[in-house]
Structure formats: C-alpha cells, structure tokens
Amino acid sequence: MENSVSILVVDDLPENHVAMEAILSKFHQNIIFAHSGTQALRLILQHEFAVILLDVNMPGLNGLETARIIRSREKNNYTPIIFLTCLDRDQIDINEGYSIGAVDFIFKPINPIILSSKVKVFIDLFTKSTLAFKLQEELENRKKAEIQSINQKRQLDIAELNRFTAIKELTSAISHELTQPLTSISNYITGSLHLLSNPDFLKKDSLISALEIAKNETYRAGEILHRIKNFSRKKHIFFENVVLNNLIMNIVSLLEDRIKSNNININFTLCDKLNMPVLLDKIQIEQVMINLLKNSKEALINSKTKDPTIKIETLLTKSNKIIIEIKDNGPGIDASVLNNIFDLYVTTKEKGIGIGLAICRAAIEAHRGNIIATNNLNGGAIFKITLPLKVKEEVENV
Amino acid sequence: MFENIKKQSILYIIDDNVSVCKSLEWMFDSIGFQTKTFNSAKHFLVEFNPNQIGCALVDVRMPGMSGLELQEEIHKRNILLPIIFMTGHADSELATQCKELGAFDFLEKPIDSKKLFISIENAINYHCGLINALDPAD
C-alpha cells in the first residue's frame, strides 16, 4: 500500500473499531486504530495521517485533551481532526472543540454515508497536497541539480583557467630562458656578417671563435628545451659516474663571472670521500646547483648584504647519504613560503616565475633524495640536499 | 657604419646576462664601435663618463637595480644619456611605461640588428645635439 494514506481512528471501544473499519475499508487506505489518547499520541509520532477520527468520550486522556496535545505538535498543526461524539451524552461544547482545532464533528450513532463522505474529502486533500509537495520537492531537486551542474561547470572553468595560466607561465619561462642564447646567437651572426662583408677581411680567428660561441649557444638553447621537455614528462633518471666535488667546482667556475662581479665570496668545505665517482644524473644535479646558487646570488645582491658569502658543503654520512648544503648570509626565506617554496609557481622573487625550485625538487626526488629549505639562526637561507649513495654496480653478466 | 660618429662615441651595454653582454660587445667590435659592458646598473653608474657622447643599451629585467630604476636614477642625476631598452618580455604596457619615463627606444630580444643600429645612431645624434645645444662652446 505504498501510495495509500493513513487514517487514525481513536476509540476506547473495540466494537467501534470494527464498525469504522467496515465503513472505511472501501477507500483501501491504511486504517490505524488506537484504544486511547495516549496510544494516539504515540502513533502520530510514527505516521503522518490524512485525518484523525477522535472519540471525545474516552477514559484517561479524553478526546479534547488528546486533540489539544496533538495540535501542540508543530507537525500536526494542520492535521484534520474530526471529533466523534454523542451530542446528548457527552454534552460537549462544540465551540470549544472547534477552538482546539477540530475541523468537524460527527455525531453518534454514526451515519456511514456522512462519515465516508467527510473522510473522503480529507483523503483527497491529503493525496493532492502530497502530490503538490512531491512536485515542489522535485522542482527544488531539479533546481539544486542545476546549481550543482553550474558549479561543476564553474569548477571546470577554473581548472581550465589554471591550466591556461600554467601554460602561460611555462611559455613565459621558456621564452625567458631561450631569449638569452638566441640574442647571443643573433649578435654573433650579425657581427660575423659585418666582418665578412668587409673586402679587407682579416679577423679570421675572431670570426671562428665567434661562430664557435654561437654554435655552443645553440646547444645551450637545445639543452634548455630538452630540460623543459624532461621536466614536463618527468623523464627517467640517467645515472652516470660523477665526481660530485668536481661537478660543484665546475658549476661555480661557470657562474664565477656573475658571482665575483658582485663581490660575493664562495667558501667550500668538500668531503674527501666525494672525490670518488658516484652515480648521479649529472645534468639534473648541475641544474639544481645552478638554480640554488643563482637564487643565493640574487638574494644577496637584492638585500645588499654586507660581506655576502655563499658556503657550499658536501658530506658523506655513515649511513651512506650524500649531503650537499648551500648556505648564504642573505635575508633568508620569508616564513610565509618556507613550507611550499618548492611548489610550482611559488616564488619570492618580484619577477620570478616559480619554476626553478620545483625543477630542483623534481630532480632530487628522482634520485630518491630530498631537498629542504630552512633559515639559519644567524640569518640567511640553507638549502640541504640529501641523496642516497649509489656507486657503480659490479659488472653485470658475470 | 656609423662612420661619422663611432670614433668619438661609446655604447654602454648593461645586462646581467654575461653571454648577452659578450655577444653584443663582440658584434659592435666587429664593426669597430667602442663599447663598455656592465653586469649591473650600479657598476655602470659608478664607472661611466657623463661627458662622453654615447648611449646606453639596457636590459629591463635585472636583479638589484632594474633597467627602469636605472633610468630613474639617470634622470635624477640630470644625465642626458639616451637609453635604449631591450627585453625578452616585451609587452606593450612595459614599452609604453619605458617611453613615458623617457626611454629613447624599446627593443625586443633577440634584437633585430638593423633596428638596433638605426636606434643607436639616432640616439647618439640626439645626444650630440643635446650636448652641443647646452654647451655650444664645446
């Protein structure tokens, strides 16, 4: 009886239950009987009734008192209550009945036609209002679904926008990186053309060295593209034998011009044990060192630090971990970014793109190592790289 | 090229990128044009000679003092040296900003050498004119 409505009949006499059932059964609805006001009160908590037929004269809680309590429950404010009463015997005050909230009175002995026609009205009303309620609910659900789909679309739009921003920033990073070598190449070629267009051309050596540099710049541009491609593809790591201390010294001498020109001192404390070859991805570790040293250099220049110094330390721990530490005596890292400084697009530089340290972390993690950034208690930033020691494996296929 | 002006004038190249500096220096050397390169705006401010005719080719984006800040400083010091900006991140807003602040020209990297030479020639002629007008006896 899924779609049937419930009717509550409250009467202390079982024979009246039988009579009511006989009259109301033709509606094929769910008729529930209560023998007392108390039982009725329990039942209204469990069911929603289309109409309550309430005997006035009952022992214990009488009909009027029961009705008053039913009405006091907010959910039953409007549940139709029809009082069943013997007018002469009960001597009920009809006005009081209505003021409590009765919608009608039926007088005993009950006339089946009157009873069933009155009950029918409330069954219909309940059915219709339930239907209306369901429709409204469905409308609201639809509206909710619509809003949800709009929100989903908005989220997709945001994701799309994020992707677009990421692409834009990556493009900007690529163009910035590539502009430098391209500028050099174009300058060397322009100069070479000028030299060659001179009929008394003599500076052959100068031309050769210029073209040599231009050639190397094209390699550098290619390497930059390769690196960016690798970063976006998260390529596999390529291990080769590297003497870490030498790698660091080479990188420093590569950057020396720029560092020395700003009067920055570089101190080394390199571990002797790392003069032996270990397995590392040379290009990736070089890139990490370049990025970290450039960052330190920029921080030192921008902060106008007195006696600007970068300290590079390598160490091999007893548990076979390689430690590389780069410390500077600059302003240190702002606390607000210390926790996410390695995330993509996080930067402390005014015009930075925030890709350098993300590349560093990706490279170090590809080595199954880790990189952390902290601030020195005496000022300055510390970048600490930990790498597992890997040495050339025994000759395979023995 | 620049036959009539190159003997007495100088081009200052200010770019934090060493290889860009070196390549520009070499290119101008190949046409016999005197240059002086600086990897920072501060070095330039310390070392350049305000009485010599010339112009400055300046990278907009540099750590420490940026190209725009350098231009501001030059204005503050009442130096008439024309500045040609170069940048790898050209956008019209930045170009307008540079020109509003008194830049002589704004070029995008990699630099079109023809445009660069014309711009330098114009800048130096402009500087010549300015200096002569202010001090005709010189």
Q: What is the pTM of this model?
A: 0.46
Q: CA dihedral defined by A7, A13, A15, A19, rounded to 10 degrees?
A: -30
Task: Tell me which of A180, A259, A297 to substitute to probe the interface with B (most B C-beta atoms closer than 10 Å).
Answer: A180
C-alpha to C-alpha distance for A383 and A264, rounded to whole angstroms: 18
Contact A280, A239 (CB under 8 A): yes
pLDDT in tens, chain A (398 residues): 457 899 999 999 999 899 999 999 998 899 999 999 999 999 999 899 999 999 988 998 889 889 999 988 888 888 999 999 876 655 667 788 888 878 888 888 888 999 999 999 999 999 998 899 899 999 999 999 988 888 777 777 766 666 676 677 677 777 877 888 899 999 999 999 988 888 777 778 888 988 988 998 898 888 778 767 766 655 567 888 999 999 999 888 877 777 777 788 899 999 999 999 999 988 889 888 988 998 898 888 888 788 899 999 999 999 999 999 999 999 888 887 887 788 765 666 654 556 678 878 888 888 889 999 999 888 899 999 999 998 876 433 33
Please tell me the predicted confidence (pLDDT) of residue A110: 87
Instruction: Establish, for the pair of chains A and B, how many residue pairs have beta carbons separated by less than 8 Å.
Output: 88
Strand bridging mode A381-388 / A370-375: antiparallel
Q: In 3-state terms, what secondary structure has residue B116?
A: helix
C-alpha to C-alpha distance for A98 and A88, rounded to whole angstroms: 18
Residues counted in chain B: 138
Nearest to A194 among B31, B63, B89 (CB): B31
Instruction: Using alpha carbons, select from B20, B30, B125 the residue that is nearest to residue A176.
Output: B20
C-alpha to C-alpha distance for B56 and B51, rounded to whole angstroms: 13
Task: Tell me which of B6, B15, B27 to substitute to probe the interface with A (most A C-beta atoms closer than 10 Å).
Answer: B27
DSSP string of A313-367, one letter each residue: EEEE-TTSEEEEEEEE-SS---TTTTTTTTSTT---STT--S-HHHHHHHHHHHT
- Scanning B56-75 for CB atoms below 8 A from A yields 61, 63-64
Interchain contact, B30 vs A192, CB within 8 Å: yes
Hey, what are A174's tokens? 């690529």
Q: Residue A189: closest CA among chain B residues belongs to which residue?
A: B27
Q: Is B91 on the interface with A (CB under 8 A)?
A: no
DSSP state of B111: P
Q: What are phi and psi of A74, to 5 degrees?
A: -55, -40
Cis before B110? omega within 30: yes
Spans of chain B, pLDDT less than 70: 1-4, 6, 89-91, 136-138
CA angle A212, A253, A364 (to 5 degrees): 100
Tally of CB atoms within 10 A around B129: 10
Tally of CB atoms within 10 A around A185: 22
C-alpha to C-alpha distance for B30 and A106, rounded to whole angstroms: 118
Nearest to B24 among A187, A214, A297 (CB): A187
Hey, what are B110's tokens? 């990699």
Contact A221, A178 (CB under 8 A): yes
Please tell me the predicted confidence (pLDDT) of residue A349: 63
Interchain contact, B19 vs A172, CB within 8 Å: no
